[in-house]
Amino acid sequence: MYPGPNSGPPSGSDFGPRGGIAADLQPHAYDPTTNPELFEGVLARRVVAFIIDVIIIAVPVVVAAVFIFVFGLVTFGLGWALYWLLSPASVVWALFYYGMTLGSPASATLGMRAMEIEMRTWYGAPAYFVLGAVHAIVYWITVSVLTPLVLVVGFFNARKRLLHDFVVGVVIINSASRTAALRERTAGYGRIGL
């Protein structure tokens, strides 16, 4: 039990000097000045990864739509009533896809893996299911409400973070293998004298 406002916080507690919760603010794990290779080419790779992910999400939805159409023909139009399920099922599928892939050990969607980029929290932890799903939701809300021009934010910060990255608290970086290759290439240029 907390003894009172004037006696100070109990030792080992999470209470600060005024009774509030102490916040251990961690510094950014990824510094673009000391590790520029983490962010090299990330924006362009994100665009391609997004296109790959949209195709992966769209294929099952199109297959389901074709199935409902054929089922409607077979049932003389009764099966077409299932089309109302297609929109909510598409949203659930997209959230599941982003949550599962970003919450995987790779912390990347299939498109991001193909482009050798991954998502991390701003303090360096890997992504998890809820973070991946929320990232997708916040992306679609910001783009829908504020127009796609919110994506321009990535050009004006060193970590190449987009608006929804700031809101959710994540950063997209090159994967470890790509980062190592970029470091090796940079070191090779230094040896040659370029």
- Residue pLDDT, tens place only, 97-139: 999 999 999 999 999 999 999 999 999 999 999 999 999 999 9
Cα-based distances in Å from 125 to 29, 107, 130, 174, 188:
9, 10, 14, 15, 30
Q: State the total domains in the chain.
A: 1
**Residue 14 belongs to a domain:** no
**Residue 183 belongs to a domain:** yes
d(CA 32, CA 135): 22
Q: Which domain holds residue 84?
A: 36-192
- Bridge partners of residue 119, in order along the sequence: 172
- Please report the pLDDT score of residue 24 as a whole number: 58
CA contacts within 13 A on the Cβ side of 35: 15
What is the C-alpha end-to-end distance of the chain, expressed in Å?
Answer: 65
**Residue 135 belongs to a domain:** yes
**Residue 5 belongs to a domain:** no
pLDDT digits (tens, 9 = 90+) for 31-82: 899 999 999 999 999 999 999 999 999 999 999 999 999 999 999 999 999 9
**Residue 123 belongs to a domain:** yes
- Please report the pLDDT score of residue 25 as a whole number: 66
**Residue 31 belongs to a domain:** no
Other CB atoms within a 10 A radius of the CB of residue 129 amount to 16
Cα-based distances in Å from 55 to 50, 111, 144:
9, 9, 19
Asked if 80 and 68 count as a contact pair (C-beta separation under 8 A), the reply is yes
**Residue 118 belongs to a domain:** yes
DSSP alpha helices (H): ranges in 14-170?
42-74, 83-102, 110-114, 129-146, 163-168
**Residue 11 belongs to a domain:** no
- Please report the pLDDT score of residue 79 as a whole number: 93
